[in-house]
A and B are shown apart, each in its own frame.
Chain A
Amino acid sequence: MTSADGFSSVSWWRRLVNKSMTILILVAVVLAIVPLVFILAEVLIQGGSVISLGFLTHMPAGPTDKTGGIGPAIAGSFTMVGIASLISIPIGVGAGIFFSEWSSSKLSTVSGFMNDVLTGFPTMVIGLFVYIIIVLTTHEWSAFAGGVALSFIMIPIIARTTSESLSLVPNTLREASMALGVPRWRTIFRVVIGTGKTGLLTGIILSIARATGETAPLLLTAAASTHYITNIFNQPTASLTVLIYNYGTSGFPVWEAQAWGAALILILLMLGLNLFVKLVIGKNLTEARME
């Protein structure tokens, strides 16, 4: 594959350019990987030193009190991601099915395009939107408002991955099922989804991971709290990400250390979900495709 090594027809200048570009490409790879490894190492070292069972369950404490924990933030994050999943999975999967099974309809084209646009949308704007439609109406910050904001981020991801994995299902399966007299809706729900379910699951898990790491949509909708959540409709709710933001910019060393601890928990959750998808489901997915 390499240049015609040993052939004198390749001039020294072309060889020099080729070598220099190879070096530049390697430099780029190093420049890309080093900061990212640096970030992970920093989170692991700084975060690892504060994590304990108490840290995971205790209530937050003052900026000089090392016994404070992130219990309410973990509970809040799980609650809000749960609410977001309940809203976004039916809508996202439904829209995804529509994109793939009615792909030639006008609604599918327009909505599919808007869906792609929404995927890369500034999450802060989505938070502001949910503030206007929910927090201004109920006059309360709440886990529900936070969950709705997160669901608006999850829906486009779930819809796109659903439609992509369902469009991989061969048409012959659909035709075989319909030829047996099975109605279209049963064909879709039993045959198409049955075949494409690993891809569908992948999309859902990745979107849950994404929602767990979101901060901006929660700032205006769930705000922050130091207490465990008791009601999803009428109280500001803590989350891991907002806690990292508030503690990280507080200027107090104890809180900064705890922000690293929370960041480690968050990264473990997200990398865990992503690795699960890559290694467990992803493997099944490639095997399913090869069959």
Chain B
Amino acid sequence: MQFRLRGDTIATMALAAAALFIIVLLVGLSYELYLGSSTSIAKFGIGFLVGSKWNPNKNALGALPFIYGTLVTSAIAIMIGLPISLGVAIFISERLKAHRSIGYLLGTIVDLLAAVPSVVYGLFGILVFAPLLSKYIETPLHQFLGFVPLFSGSPFQGGANFFSAGVILAIMIIPTMSAVTRDVLHAVPNSQREAMYSLGATDWEVTQKSVLPYSRSGIFGAFVLGLGRAVGETMAVVMVIGNIPSITSNLFSSGYSLSALIANEFGEASGLYRAAIVEVALILFFVALIINVFARLLLWRMTRGTQVRA
């Protein structure tokens, strides 16, 4: 009896320690980032968030160009990625109901594509896709819609700019977003659909009026999760965005992002310059924290009991 109790105690303690480790990890992460950026926070205060100059030699450091680049590329990624993901999810979950094996195959292909490493998307982006995009999409957009500020700049050959980074991000987040949306649509009870069909509704009317409203908050969760991935992505962006800090409405201009800055400049930075980059990481930490907490809450509420993937 004595031995058994001790075995249970040791096991409980060891397992609880592992669970505790995750809390320590997240708390330690935020503490170290705060500590590492304290000199920068003290020097620049809130002005760091709105400062648009980035000149390490003169200690003029503001994070706005990087925040801007992250937001613009993520916005492009979501605007392209969300409708496509929604279409893929509706196709697999609603239209292929009668052909489960095809739906399963298509779902598996999309899932496998989520496994392609981001650095490969970056490689493809900078060597193949950005030049193509610049030649066949950006140049015509500029020629015909040049009066729109977004397309006012003439895209240069290599095509490393906000727009190509956003499109690469869109391609990257489509597998994740469509997988989550698919799970959410699967969670809609069939009685919802049957009720609409029995009233003589068309396929689209069933999707539009009973499936989509029912899964609204889950789709929103998928959107926020996709946003989280886009905001936090480093490699695909750093290789394609051009890495020049700039704030401009012209999407065909090179830009910079929060994570790209850390990847490129942290290694050579020191003193206040380094603290400023740690503060950039802290900003990214908080943005990602808010987005992830929000997405988790939404998805937890929506699909309680069913499995939701990362």
List residues of A whose CB falls within 8 A of some B CB. 1-4, 7, 9-10, 14-15, 17-18, 21-22, 24-29, 31-33, 35-36, 38-40, 42-43, 90-95, 97-99, 101-102, 107-108, 110-129, 131-133, 152, 155-157, 159-160, 164, 183-186, 188-189, 209-210, 212-216, 219-220, 223, 241, 244-245, 248-249, 256, 259-260, 263, 266-267, 270-271, 274-275, 278
Given contacts A92-B18, A125-B288, A248-B123, 16 further A-B contacts (CB under 8 A): A18-B205, A25-B91, A28-B87, A36-B174, A39-B171, A90-B18, A93-B18, A101-B15, A118-B22, A121-B292, A122-B234, A124-B259, A183-B5, A183-B7, A215-B235, A248-B119
Number of A-B contacts (CB under 8 A): 284
- Name A110's contact: one of B23, B118, B296 (CB within 8 Å): B23
Least Cβ distance of B128 to chain A in Å? 6
List residues of B whose CB falls within 8 A of some A CB. 4-5, 7-8, 10-12, 14-23, 25-26, 28-29, 32-33, 36, 83-88, 90-91, 95, 97-98, 106, 108-113, 115-124, 126-129, 171, 174-175, 178, 197, 200-205, 207-208, 225, 228-229, 231-235, 238-239, 259, 262-263, 266-267, 278, 281, 284-285, 288-289, 291-293, 295-296, 307, 310
Q: What is the CA–CA distance of A249 and B207 in the complex, to the nearest angstrom?
A: 45
Q: List the 6 shortest-distance A-B pairs measured between CB atoms, nearest first.
A: A28-B87, A213-B117, A94-B18, A122-B232, A185-B11, A3-B202
Contact residues of A: prevailing secondary structure: helix
11 pairs across A/B with beta carbons < 8 Å?
A39-B120, A43-B124, A95-B15, A120-B291, A124-B262, A129-B28, A131-B266, A266-B117, A266-B120, A267-B116, A278-B112
Contact residues in B for A267 (Cβ distance below 8 Å): 116-117, 120
Across the two chains, which residue of chain B brings its CB closest to A245? B119
Contact residues in A for B106 (Cβ distance below 8 Å): 29
Please tell me if the beta carbons of B228 and A120 are within 8 angstroms of each other in the complex.
yes
Q: What is the CA–CA distance of A111 and B59 in the complex, to the nearest angstrom?
A: 40
